[in-house]
Amino acid sequence: MTEANEAADAAAGGARRPRRHAITLLGAPIEAGAGVAGCAMGPAMLRTAGIVRTLKDLGHDVVDLGDLAPGQPFAHARAPEGEARDFAEIAAWARDLARETHAILREGRLPLVLGGDHSLAMGSIGGVAAHAAEIGRKLFVLWLDAHSDYNTPRTSPSGNMHGMPVAMLSGEPGFETMFGDEPRALIDPAHVHLFGIRSIDADERRLLKARGVDVVDMRRLDEDGFAVSIRRIIDRVRAADGLLHVSLDVDFLDPTIAPGVGTAVPGGASYREAHLVMELLYESGLAPSLDLVELNPFLDERGKSALLLVDLAASLFGRQVY
């Protein structure tokens, strides 16, 4: 299908013909950034829940690279002032993940990173940002999460680095040594859309307002609706001819339907609301790269959360009711 046809289909309100993508899966079994052990098992559980077969059944070319195994903690990643637990270990993950996602995109494929805690986005999105800069396109990030993850080592109440990736990627101070002498690709905080938010620390709130980050909290979603809100973001990305990365945290979802997460917050997206977001993203033709993070099988109920994440990935890549 040509880009012109895809745009016409999207403008007509849906994708008339399925689009096939070359997708590369990469596991990132990291839990050093989280405060509760268990999400290192997330990639294995997503595979058990059938993510590879599900995407292949939709007609996509799927390659699974297995789990990334980074080397020793990055010796040159000097811990910053403040509190950032396991900084050197997370720096090693970030550097290796950035290289991998960048390489996948340069091969003309879409990276789908299976997590692991949300600190992995420092690397996965870092690689996507490097690719976007290389080809001269703006990168937009859709952050589906209960939390804004905009803490820094100086502001974090816990020091857990899964609460810091958006701040790190936006160039906030405290992360300068994470990539050592290697170039660090950043994102424009004005191109970040935090979606489904319902837990923000006081210092995060101050920084988010100062940086112009788009915070679509649950109050705003209750008033405007999920469809209106996600279409606004889609229109913005399309108008800029931008690239889109989606980073989906299990706690974006209401814990009654997705209990397998260590940072559950009541009042999240429902089953249908979450699927609607994914379906509209597919119909947009934007073909985003994707993180699936914070799945903790130890806290799940008979694979309930893992199966839902696989279903949501299927909707993002073209599964339709009719």
Question: Is residue 162 annotated as part of the catalytic site, yes or no?
Answer: yes
**How many angstroms from the chain centroid is the CA of residue 22?**
18
Exactly one of 149, 204, 283, 311 is catalytic; name it.
149
Question: Is residue 181 annotated as part of the catalytic site, yes or no?
Answer: no
Buried residues in 41-50 as b, exposed as e (16+ CB within 10 A): bbbbbbbebb
Q: Which amino acid, one-letter code, is at 159?
A: G
Question: Is residue 172 annotated as part of the catalytic site, yes or no?
Answer: no
Exactly one of 145, 291, 300, 311 is catalytic; name it.
145
- Which of 318, 198, 200 lies closest to 266, judged by CA? 198
User: Strand order of the sheet with strand 214-217?
Assistant: 61-67, 22-28, 110-115, 289-293, 243-249, 139-144, 192-197, 214-217
- Which of 66, 121, 156 lies closest to 247, judged by CA? 121
Question: Is residue 147 annotated as part of the catalytic site, yes or no?
Answer: yes
Question: Is residue 149 annotated as part of the catalytic site, yes or no?
Answer: yes
Q: Tell me the C-alpha distance between 261 and 251, whole Å.
A: 6
Place of tokens 């080809």: 135
Q: Tell me the C-alpha distance between 310 and 25, whole Å.
A: 13
Under 8 Å between Cβ of 38 and 297: yes
Question: Is residue 251 annotated as part of the catalytic site, yes or no?
Answer: yes
How many CB atoms are closer than 10 A to CB 107? 11
Exactly one of 60, 162, 245, 275 is catalytic; name it.
162
Exactly one of 21, 102, 118, 245 is catalytic; name it.
118
Question: Is residue 76 annotated as part of the catalytic site, yes or no?
Answer: no
Exactly one of 83, 249, 273, 283 is catalytic; name it.
249
- Which of 208, 175, 214, 207 lies closest to 192, judged by CA? 214
Exactly one of 251, 254, 291, 311 is catalytic; name it.
251
Question: Is residue 311 annotated as part of the catalytic site, yes or no?
Answer: no
Exactly one of 60, 131, 147, 245 is catalytic; name it.
147
Look at the chain and count its residues.
322
Q: Which residues are catalytic?
A: 118, 145, 147, 149, 162, 249, 251, 294
